[in-house]
């Protein structure tokens, strides 16, 4: 997709067409900057005939990388505009749903706040509405890590050496508990981790060096007080061991009128990977209510 002089890569799984019985789904990956790979199994929603669109947001994966773009180029508005343009160019702007995972769920909520007329529903998977609360909860979980892991994290953050292997190894301990509990990590998930390591511009600029050391432009992002404005039917998804803790997701559930919440007991931040069939069945049942 060409837009504003940039290129965004996408892939349609299934068939888009006029008169399709099932609402097509746009799948928004997380990061920011993690690329679509780890979300590939969400596109299995196509198994019932529903068209699914995977795409790499600008700055990662197979889309234009733009490593020299200034920091203020990478904003939520940029990715909201990209999402709108994608629905327009695919010809689905009059009827579609969004499934967003992590940052993708934040993007889905931002998109829903604009009340686009064709948006039928959103699925917000493993996402916060406040980065301040996200960081607070991540650091609460961090305090349960082994002391030597905590010390390594703190030492490198204070010294500005978060690119050292010891810091990365300590972060992996947290990730194994609260991001993806499947061991070994599936190949399609690892591809996204490798991609963000190779092209960290968007993640480092908007988030920071890790999930709990958020020093990027999103650090003050907070839409909690606007959640009541979301009118699109909403399904919230999270895992019992998720870094998007029940406190985080519960506050969203309380504020979006009529929202549903599925909490997966054996999952952390990726129920679509950790409990894939239960995830698909839950999301399918929800989407059938808006077809």
Q: Is 178 a catalytic residue?
A: no
Identified catalytic residue from 63, 102, 210, 259: 102
Interval 116-134 mean pLDDT = 97
pLDDT reported for residue 216: 92
Identified catalytic residue from 36, 253, 269, 272: 269
Q: Three-class SS of residue 222? A: strand
* pTM, full prediction: 0.95
Q: Are 118 and 94 in contact (CB under 8 A)?
A: yes
Q: pLDDT tens across 160-209, in order?
A: 898 899 998 999 999 999 999 999 999 999 999 999 999 999 999 999 88
Q: Three-class SS of residue 232? A: coil
Distance between CA atoms of 261 and 280, rounded to whole angstroms?
Answer: 14
Q: pLDDT tens across 10-57, in order?
A: 999 999 987 778 999 999 999 999 999 999 999 999 999 999 999 999
CATH of the domain at 195: 3.40.50.1820
pLDDT reported for residue 33: 96
Distance between CA atoms of 31 and 63, rounded to whole angstroms?
Answer: 15
Q: Is 242 a catalytic residue?
A: yes
Q: Are 189 and 273 in contact (CB under 8 A)?
A: yes
Structural domain for 245, as ranges: 1-291
Q: Are 126 and 105 in contact (CB under 8 A)?
A: yes
Distances (CA, A) of 142 to 127, 152, 212, 268, 271: 18, 12, 8, 14, 21
Q: Are 55 and 31 in contact (CB under 8 A)?
A: no
pLDDT reported for residue 20: 78
Identified catalytic residue from 242, 259, 267, 268: 242
Q: Is 102 a catalytic residue?
A: yes
Domain count along the chain: 1
Decide if pLDDT at 213 tops 80: no
């Amino acid at each position: 997709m060409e837009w504003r002089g940039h290129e965004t890569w996408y892939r349609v799984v299934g068939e888009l067409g006029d008169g399709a019985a099932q609402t097509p789904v746009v799948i928004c990956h997380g990061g920011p900057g993690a690329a679509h790979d780890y979300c590939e199994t969400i596109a299995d929603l196509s198994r019932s005939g529903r068209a699914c669109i995977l795409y790499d947001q600008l700055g990662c994966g197979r889309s234009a990388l733009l490593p020299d773009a200034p920091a203020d180029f990478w904003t939520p508005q940029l990715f909201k505009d990209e999402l709108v343009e994608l629905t327009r160019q695919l010809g689905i702007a009059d009827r579609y749903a969004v499934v967003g995972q992590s940052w993708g769920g934040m993007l889905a909520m931002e998109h829903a706040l604009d009340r686009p007329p064709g948006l039928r529903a959103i699925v917000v998977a493993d996402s916060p509405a406040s980065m301040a609360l996200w960081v607070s909860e991540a650091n609460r979980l961090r305090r349960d890590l082994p002391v030597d892991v905590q010390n390594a994290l703190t030492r490198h953050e204070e010294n500005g050496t978060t690119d050292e292997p010891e810091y990365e190894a300590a972060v992996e301990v947290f990730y194994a508990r609260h991001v993806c509990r499947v061991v070994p990590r599936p190949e399609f998930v690892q591809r996204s981790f490798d991609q963000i390591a190779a092209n960290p511009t968007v993640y480092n600029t908007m988030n920071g060096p890790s999930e709990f050391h958020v020093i990027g432009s999103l650090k003050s992002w907070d839409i909690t007080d606007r959640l009541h404005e979301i009118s699109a039917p909403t399904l919230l998804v999270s895992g019992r061991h998720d870094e998007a803790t029940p406190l985080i997701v519960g506050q969203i559930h309380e504020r979006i009128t009529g929202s549903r919440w599925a909490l997966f007991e054996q999952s952390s931040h990726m129920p679509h990977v950790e409990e894939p069939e239960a995830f698909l069945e839950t999301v399918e049942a929800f989407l059938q209510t808006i077809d």
